[in-house]
Structure 1
Amino acid sequence: MKTLLTSTVGGIDLSLSNITLTITTTATALMAGLFFAYSCSVNPGLARLADTSYLAAMQSINRAILNPFFLIPFVGLVLLLPFTAYLEYTSPVSPRFLLLAAAAITYIWGVFGITMLKNVPLNEALDAFNIQAASVEDLTRQRLQFEEPWNRWHLIRTIAAVLTSVFTILACLFPSSSKI
């Protein structure tokens, strides 16, 4: 497999490893940007809302984000990052491989793992909550159970997403030792 595709067009190395690295780096930047923008604008904006409005907005956002524009890069990176690292594996290991391996670990555990183990269960509990049937006390309690833990875990996955993107960008700065 390590001799599949290699060509140069206009001085640009169009090897499988470089094409995959470009796609991977773009996807990690998109995920980091999404999480960062959410942390800098959406969360502070939502924090200003009354309980009913906040809970309704979060329910709506959590339902809306389940679309291909989010899901393809979000889930795809779980496979793409290790594959991209694999394509750069040589003996001895190269800096590019080490950075991509670090990116894969950071993303799988720090972004995907936290999302699935922490944020998604909070989203699902919120989705099951009936805002219209809730008392004022129920609304306040639901917000307290959701907002602070969700934002804490979101901040951690945002930091992990930014680190993942930095690792992939740094990997681009090192020459490929792969012949793919």
Structure 2
Amino acid sequence: MIDGPYFVLAVLGALACGLAAGVFCAFSTFVMKGLAGLPPAQGIAAMNRINVTAVTPAFMAVFLGATGLCAVLAVVTFVLWPDEGTVELLLGCALYLVGSFGVTIAANIPRNDALAKVDPESAEGAEYWRTYVSEWTAWNHVRGVASLAASASFILALT
């Protein structure tokens, strides 16, 4: 049974993963579409600025906070195995740690780093921008779905 501090961790995990899913959803559904509609040089400049300003305490608290909560929950859940709700909690932790944090590290950040190095005014920059928007958004969809599924898994564990 999930109770006490373990319950609080699970609720915080559900909320943090759900909040991260909302951020990723916003980017996938309108931010990236808005940036893609700009001339490439402007879109590149705007996205590069977003990538710099995203590394703020507020967003990092949500993104890395959810990561930390999932790591702690996974360890506690392994200790309490096979109590009720442990499968759902481990699934939620894995979904967020791999599908959100892992995809960010492996797919989105390398694209952000590459975008920061292109000349926004060049033909190569414009071509990379089109590829970037498509690929980055596809991986962002993965992050959003994984974060939402993680939140749902935590909720199921609590019911």
- After TM superposition, is the score higher than 0.5? yes
- What SS does structure 2 have at the residue aligned with 1:69? helix
Q: Is contact 1:78–1:112 with CA below 8 Å preserved after alignment?
A: yes
Paired residue for 1:7? none
**Which of the pair is proportionally richer in helix?**
2
Number of residue pairs aligned between Structure 1 and Structure 2: 156
- What SS does structure 2 have at the residue aligned with 1:169? helix
The percentage of counterpart residues that share the same residue type is 28
Matches of 2:74 and 2:109, distance apart in 1: 28
Q: Which amino acid aligns with 2:80?
A: T
Structure with greater Cα Rg: 1
Scaled by the length of structure 2, what TM-score is found? Answer: 0.88
Paired residue for 2:143? 157
Deviation, 1:46, is 1.7
Q: Which amino acid aligns with 1:98?
A: V
Consecutive unaligned residues of structure 1, counting only runs of 5 or more, are 1-12, 174-180
Please identify runs of 4+ aligned residues in structure 1 that moved more than 4 A: none
Deviation, 1:121, is 0.5
Pair 1:129 & 2:118 matched:
yes
Paired residue for 1:4? none
Q: Which moved more, 1:101-110 or 1:18-27?
A: 18-27
Q: Which moved more, 1:146-155 or 1:117-126?
A: 146-155
Matches of 1:47 and 1:145, distance apart in 2: 11
Q: Is contact 2:13–2:151 with CA below 8 Å preserved after alignment?
A: no
Q: Is contact 1:82–1:100 with CA below 8 Å preserved after alignment?
A: no
Q: Which amino acid aligns with 2:138?
A: R
Consecutive unaligned residues of structure 2, counting only runs of 5 or more, are none
Describe how 1:86-105 pairs up with structure 2 within 5 A. Answer: 86-88=75-77, 89-91=79-81, 93-105=82-94
